[in-house]
Every structure is written in structure tokens, then in C-alpha cells.
Amino acid sequence: MADLTVGDAAPDFDVPRDGGDRISLSAFSGRPVVLYFYPKDDTSGCTKEAISFTELAPEFEAIGAAVIGISPDSVSKHDKFAKKYSLSLILGSDEDTQVAQRYGVWKEKSMYGRRYMGIERTTFLIDKDGKITRIWPKVKVAGHAEEVLASAKAL
């Protein structure tokens, strides 16, 4: 697992995405990218987070920033999730968790005394040169998209 810090080059990836295409970080070279990792489609926190980013999509677009959400869910689950909530962001499928591991967000978690591996909700702001400029670990959803937008505008 990676221990990425501000100033590091963001690891490139190439994964399937909603709608049937593929998405890679390198495809956004020259643009800022908001890369957020979330545990699971169509759960309370993940849905609120995706809707928040979607509501701010015009403002992210106005500054040229792409918003990419990645989870271990399949492309078909992403398609259903995006359609159900009219999401306008890119959803990448990391079923083998390789991208999450490279970004250091695939972690041991605990719920009701049971230990398991899963995504730790984390957001990375990546500048137009592919460098990580900000990391939000253990994200609390309320107000998060707005905070990320403010940081992206400051790039």
C-alpha cells in the first residue's frame, strides 16, 4: 500500500468506467482532477457524496476540473447508481482494488467487532501537472464537496 503525500506524483490508472468506456488519470493531463474513493454505490454516505459533487459539477467544469469517483463496484452497478441519482461525474470500477491499494486507501476496517478490508473514504486533489496538492483522509461527507471545490479554485 502506498503512503502518498502532498507533492507526490499521483499514480496513473486505467479502469473501466460507467457507460462502458475506460478512464485513466493520464487522459486528464493539463487539467486538475478531483479523485475521490468511496466504499460502495447506493449507500447513504456514498450517495450523498456523489450527489454533492454532481450538484457542484458546473463549478468544477468552469475551472476545468474533472471529478472522478472510484469504488470496487462493477460497471453495471455504477451505471445503475448514476442513472438512479442523475449523477454527472465519472465513476471508475476498481474491482480488483489495485488502484485503491496504490493510493493507500484499501485499509482494514472494523464494524460491530468484525474486521474486513475496504475503502477508506478519501479524496485527492491533483493539479494539472499530476501532482497531489491536497488529501482529505477519512472524509466526512457534509460540506466536503464544497471544501474540495474551494481548494480546486485556489490551484
Residues 10, 132 contacting (CB under 8 angstroms) = yes
73 included as an active-site residue: no
- Residue 63 and residue 153: Cα distance in Å, rounded? 7
Q: CA–CA separation, 104 vs 86, rounded Å? A: 29
Active-site option among 33, 46, 68, 82: 46
Q: Specify the long-range contacts of residues 20-24, CB closer than 8 Å, at least 24 apart.
A: 20/75, 23/68, 23/90, 23/92
46 contacts 37 by C-beta, under 8 angstroms: no
Catalytic residues: 46
